[in-house]
Amino acid sequence: MQSPDDYLRDCRTDRFTTSDGYRHFYRHWPAAGTPRGVILALHGIQSHSGWYGYSSQRLAAAGYHVYFLDRRGSGQNFRSRGDARHQDRLVNDVVDFARELRYQHPELPLTLLGLSWGGKLAAVTASRYSSLFNRLILLYPGLRAFVRANWWQRCQLRLAEWLEVTKKKVPIPLSEPALFTNEPDARVFIRQDPFLLEEATSGFMIANRHLDLSTHAPGFASKLTMPSILMLAGQDRIIDNGETQELFRTFPNPRNELRVYLQAAHTLEFEPNRETIFSDLVDWLERTDGHLE
């Protein structure tokens, strides 16, 4: 497998300032040829935009501008490392950037892509701002997960919220690269990544808890009216595929599609058959291009 760094040469990097003054690092892979659309992508809890160069380059080659936003406190955003004040701030960061992309590309459809933990943030954002996005892509999203806080940790988190203890650093419980991939080279890349987020604040964990509660709220799924695709790894040790599929089947759009790659581990980006996986995604995008509102 080529290093993820090999696919970053064709991207541009810049900063975007959200409504509270935070300057976010992002990567942009420009669309090849005549642009067909814009994709705003959100990464996982520990990762960042630098992990996903292959898929971003593949989508750009198919005619889609790809903008990959590093979440505040993650990747190359060093201010307030691992922190977020509340779930609304995380949602607003995505909405601020999405509106900027709408302004830059007013004639192109806007697709929100979320993977792993970012899939949870993407789904909550799209549910609240459904008119802002034309499509939703969920890659092994953290909507329903095996890796979750136990009862004692949940009690501690509620106490921290009640006492307004928001800056205490806690380890993110995904320290083993084998959870993400079976590919040896990819495990080495993850282990040696200088931008890997290994700790988060109690404030971020409280925001994450509220995002989880939002995905269980009445009416959450019914508001996800845009065409959506769910792509899962059959050997995932982080995501509960059964519960995730059950939730996805309640999304109302008849053009929704589900793909499961039975031999794949969590991070589809690192799979040996990723060319097939992302060709499937491009195929879905092209088939739904003519059916967007």
With a cut of 90, say whether residue 32 has pLDDT above it: yes
User: What angle is formed at CA 243 by the lines to CA 70 and CA 150, rounded to 5 degrees?
Assistant: 75
Q: Which residue has the higher pLDDT, 41 or 159?
A: 41
Q: Is residue 146, in this structure, part of any structural domain at all?
A: yes
DSSP state of 82: T
CA–chain centroid gap for 142, Å, is 9
Q: Is residue 214, in this structure, part of any structural domain at all?
A: yes
Residue type, 279: S
Q: Is residue 80, in this structure, part of any structural domain at all?
A: yes
d(CA 85, CA 157): 14
Q: What's the token pair of residue 209? A: 């808890």
With a cut of 90, say whether residue 1 has pLDDT above it: no
Q: What is the bridge-based pairing of β-strands 135-139 and 228-233?
A: parallel
Q: Is residue 125, in this structure, part of any structural domain at all?
A: yes
Q: Is residue 138, in this structure, part of any structural domain at all?
A: yes
Q: Is residue 71, in this structure, part of any structural domain at all?
A: yes
Q: Tell me what pLDDT residue 152 has.
A: 62
pLDDT tens by residue, 169-211 = 988 987 789 999 999 999 999 999 999 999 999 999 999 999 9
Q: Is residue 293, in this structure, part of any structural domain at all?
A: no
CATH number at residue 135: 3.40.50.1820
- Binned at pLDDT 50, 70 and 90, residue 150 comes out as low
pLDDT tens by residue, 222-272 = 999 999 999 999 999 999 999 999 999 999 999 999 999 999 999 999 999
Rounded to two decimals, what is the model's pTM?
A: 0.95
Residue 84 domain boundaries: 4-288
Q: Is residue 108, in this structure, part of any structural domain at all?
A: yes
Q: Please state the domain count of the chain.
A: 1
